Amino acid sequence: MTLRPATHPPLPLLITGVAGVAGYNALEYFQQKYPGQVIGIRQQDNWRFTRPGVEACNAEDRDALVRLFDRYQFRSVLNCAGNCALRACELDTRLAWRTNVEGLLNILSIIADREVRLVHLSADLVYAGRDHTDGNGGNYSEHETPDPVTVYGKTMVAAEQLLVDWMPKACTLRISLPMGISFNGHAGAIDWIQSRFQKGRPATLYFDEVRTPTYTDCMNRVFERVLASNLAGLYHAGGPRRLSLYQIAQVINRVGGYDPKLLMGIPRIEAGPMPPRAGNVTMNSSALEAALGYSPFDPWPLAKEHLPDGKQWHYHRNGEAGTPELLSRALYRNPRLQNDQ
């Protein structure tokens, strides 16, 4: 597919799921770049998230969503909504379906007869993960059939199929762990791990759950380019560096200057049955790179000196004291892009 020349997304823009890390950072980016032209929606019961440009509207409430579309006349939608709390989704499948599928279904029913560009975010956890005896695995491409092990992953697959069946001109981007700040300080991967270390509590992560984490700074620019384009179909949008959850925690521990004894590592088989854990779900994002015509993602973490080289790496500080401030500059934000707005 030949992309339209990059200009800007059709405006006004609606961003759903702004309480999540991907949505929250996208909202910050787009509102700064297109002031007065970007609206985010959050769940009505999330009363703490109150700020200009954010409306209280449940995407699964179709009538409220219709009123919002009529009021703002949106011309594009970035759908970041979804409940990725694995345990909560396992225990309440109705909640998972309502949040992860019904909201998108309502959006599709509303924009079916309107000129609205839609970009939808899915996730790498549509896969169960695969491991090879040589230590390699994952590296999923878009043509491989999803086989999720969690309710969350199953609802993500169902949402993807809605777009295949009902709006093939839309674009679905499967993302991995979005590395950026969150509005409440505990919604993201960095937040949760760091909060444990800050409180002097242990954090247990898995050696064999492997992801392709991605700076939200990079993701925002991809969202902007794809929204402005005619790119259609399904694309993987994970970072180029593969890290286990344990390695990610190592980075956070050492860069943040926390007690290395607080980090525990186990294979996911020891995690118990609830929730089920995926394995190596790393994604190959070369198709997106080819479509865009450039490499859109920097590795997380950007600095090579912040990359673990063994299970005890976080114990070896090499005379350099990590700090929460360094963590904020190097892990929450892409140092290469912090001054490039």
In a domain, 283, yes or no: yes
Percent of the chain with pLDDT over 90: 76
pLDDT at 97 > cutoff 80: yes
- Summarised one tens digit per residue, pLDDT across range 195-223 is 999 999 999 999 999 999 999 999 999 99
In a domain, 223, yes or no: yes
- Summarised one tens digit per residue, pLDDT across range 142-179 is 999 999 999 999 999 999 999 999 999 999 999 999 99
pLDDT at 185 > cutoff 80: no
In a domain, 234, yes or no: yes
pLDDT of amino acid 83: 81
pLDDT at 47 > cutoff 80: no
Q: Determine the average pLDDT of the residues in 30-52.
A: 88
- Summarised one tens digit per residue, pLDDT across range 220-250 is 999 999 999 999 999 999 999 999 999 999 9
Q: What are the φ/ψ torsions at residue 16 (nearest 5 degrees)? A: -95, 160
Percent of the chain with pLDDT over 70: 96
In a domain, 22, yes or no: yes
In a domain, 2, yes or no: no
Which residues face 205 on adjacent strands?
265
Q: How far apart are CA 335 and CA 305, in angstroms?
A: 14
Q: What's this model's pTM, rounded to 2 decimal places? A: 0.94
Lowest-confidence segment of 173-187, 251-265, 281-295, 321-335 by average pLDDT: 173-187
CB 100 within 8 A of CB 84: no
pLDDT of amino acid 340: 60
CA atoms within 13 A on the CB side of 285: 32
pLDDT at 18 > cutoff 80: yes
Angle at 218 between CA 215 and CA 138, to 5 degrees: 60
Structural domain containing residue 36: 13-332
Tokens of 239: 């970072």
Per-residue confidence band for 2, with pLDDT thresholds at 50, 70 and 90: low
In a domain, 71, yes or no: yes
Per-residue confidence band for 132, with pLDDT thresholds at 50, 70 and 90: low
Q: H or E element: which one contains 118? A: strand 117-123
Per-residue confidence band for 78, with pLDDT thresholds at 50, 70 and 90: very high
Lowest-confidence segment of 34-38, 42-46, 111-115 by average pLDDT: 42-46
In a domain, 5, yes or no: no
Q: Per the structure, how many domains does the chain have?
A: 1
In a domain, 337, yes or no: no
pLDDT at 85 > cutoff 80: no
CB 277 within 8 A of CB 271: yes
pLDDT of amino acid 43: 81
CATH number at residue 171: 3.40.50.720
